A and B are shown apart, each in its own frame.
Chain A
Amino acid sequence: MILQVQNLHKQFGGVRAVRGVDLALADKQIHAVIGPNGAGKSTLLAQLAGEIAPDRGRIVFAGRDITGLAAHKRAQLGLARCFQTADVIAPMTLLENATLALLAAAGNSFNCWSPLARDADLRARAMQLLEEVGLAHDAELRAGEAAHGVRRQLEIAMALAPRPKLLLLDEPMAGLGKSESAAMIALLKKRKGSAAMLLIEHDMDAVFALADTASVLVDGRILAAGSTAEIRGNAEVQRAYLGTPQ
């Protein structure tokens, strides 16, 4: 198991966003968390990434209890994450963004003297990173000026740069057009097997195309969990969330 979550709780004032969530994710598997808006999916992900401290419960990542660990330390252990808003560094070019992603692992980030742009090795690796997601031709484009789909792909590439053990994905298909979604599914499929992924997604086609297993989160609780086929056939899930059969 790469990730085990036990009895996770989070309350914001009177709102119990996450109440008693258990999750288990096997190595190199893709697990989808689906559920209606406001079910607590993003809160759950933020707790796993270390941005929100849980009130109760335990998170074990790669055999280590990381419940109280800071976000950047979790990242250093191999836990990567993508944000809902395709968060990249807007004023930097795609290449500079990719370089920055490699820098975290390369270390020596307090160097005040050597020009980063002249580090040929790092630059080549950043270029390769962009090539892998098909963005090499846009390397000198400023991320803030790039299309939303491009920023999403860049963000995935950045998250995967340090070869993480687990990638947390918060609605990677959100805001993407049909062909962009297809490209994103293809990209994630290609990376399946190199890292486990926890996928929050509303796009059911994407979920069924990518995930091995899935959990349904409703009102901060896991309503059902199992293989995607089981979830698809679960009548209770259909009533609560999926609506009409897909």
Chain B
Amino acid sequence: MNGALRAFFKLRPKLPAKMFGRRAVLPAAALLLLAPPLLFFTGQDFYLDLLTRALILAIAALSLNLLVGCGGMVSLGHAAYIGIGAYSVGIPAHYGVHDGALHLALAVSLSAAFAFLTGAVCLRTRGLYFILITLAFSQMLYFTLVSIDAYGADDGLVITRRSSFPGLQLEHALVLYYCVFAALALFLFGMRRLMHARFGRVLLGCRHNRARMRALGFDAYRHQLACYVLSGAVCGVAGFFLGNFTDFVSPAMLDWTRSAELLFMVIIGGAGALFGPLVGAAVFLVLAELLSGITLHWHLLFGALLIALVLRGQLFTRG
């Protein structure tokens, strides 16, 4: 046991995405593309749901990875954007408006606006203060939603009809899944472009040496704020999907523990690694499922495993 543990921690640090290798990307994509119809038509709805949820959370974790991995900004308030995205579906639906384009536009624009307003303040601080102030802003939103009785307060809202697009019904589990899949693929591609483009390189520079970047003439604050807004907007899309997927929105979606879970996914997958959030979200959900099947006190085991994974994630995390 001791030897196994030691071997576990002494593994050569590699980025998980590299650990699985580039060769794994195509088979993984093929699996994610082909498995759902099989699951659906064999009646394995549970696994299709798990897969859909994993991909939605992967989008959210990807947006946080943009913040943490590229920008070096560790936020503990990212679930706020999931909440904004989900309520962008829930509130209009409550009034009988089911237009998907409107929902999506609301999710993106409100998330971006919230990110802009709060980020402008958060980014005046660094490190621990930044973490705490992002947490404070998300809690403000949480308690605001808890206090609005018209939208169900603590109990939230049931979404009786999912967002509808012309010719596209998210009611169907497979349609929803493929929409999520397409969005994730799009964001992964965009993230990859961004990381290698000027913006990504400047962000990385600011992450590692802000003073040097400022002395070179870069407005570090504006670049980081742009990153913050972009990240919030992408996470809003994840919220849009999550609201549709669960047919339900509630303040619990933006509880700070949800933010911490997203952070776990990013760290498990390796901050800054392109496919890290996908790996992190999958590992997180699968572990939770497996452990909760073994014992009622699975949180204890889960916590211990998370600590181990984070310790290894720390080895993984690289510039």
Q: What residues make up the interface of A, taking CB atoms closer than 8 Å to B?
A: 49, 51, 70-72, 75-76, 80-81, 83, 87-92, 96, 99-101, 103-105, 108-117, 158-159, 162
Contacts and interface: CB of A to CB of B under 8 A. Distances in A.
Contacts of B208: 89-92
Contact of A112 (B190, B215, B318): B190
B127 interface: no
Interface stretch (B73-81, B98-106, B118-126, B192-200): B192-200
A91 B223 contact: no
3 closest residue pairs by CB, A with B: A91-B319, A75-B217, A104-B217
Nearest to B190: A112
Given A92-B208, A113-B193, 5 more contacts: A90-B319, A92-B205, A112-B199, A115-B197, A159-B215
Contacts, number: 101
Nearest to A49: B215
A92 B211 CA distance: 16
A117 B201 CA distance: 10
Given A100-B205, A103-B198, A75 B226 contact: no
Nearest to B202: A109
A100 B216 contact: yes
Nearest to A168: B215
B219 interface: yes
B217 A162 contact: yes
B201 A72 contact: no
Chain B interface size, as a band, is 20 to 34
Given A83-B212, A89-B205, A92-B205, A110 B198 contact: yes
Nearest to A122: B198
B204 interface: yes
A109 B223 contact: yes
11 contacts: A75-B215, A81-B215, A83-B212, A89-B208, A92-B204, A92-B205, A96-B201, A100-B201, A100-B216, A112-B194, A112-B199
Contacts of B197: 111-116
Given A72-B219, A92-B204, A162-B217, A117 B211 contact: no
Given A101-B216, A105-B217, A162-B217, A88 B199 contact: no
A235 B223 CA distance: 52
A70 B218 CA distance: 11
B204 A89 contact: yes
Contact of B209 (A88, A117, A162): A88
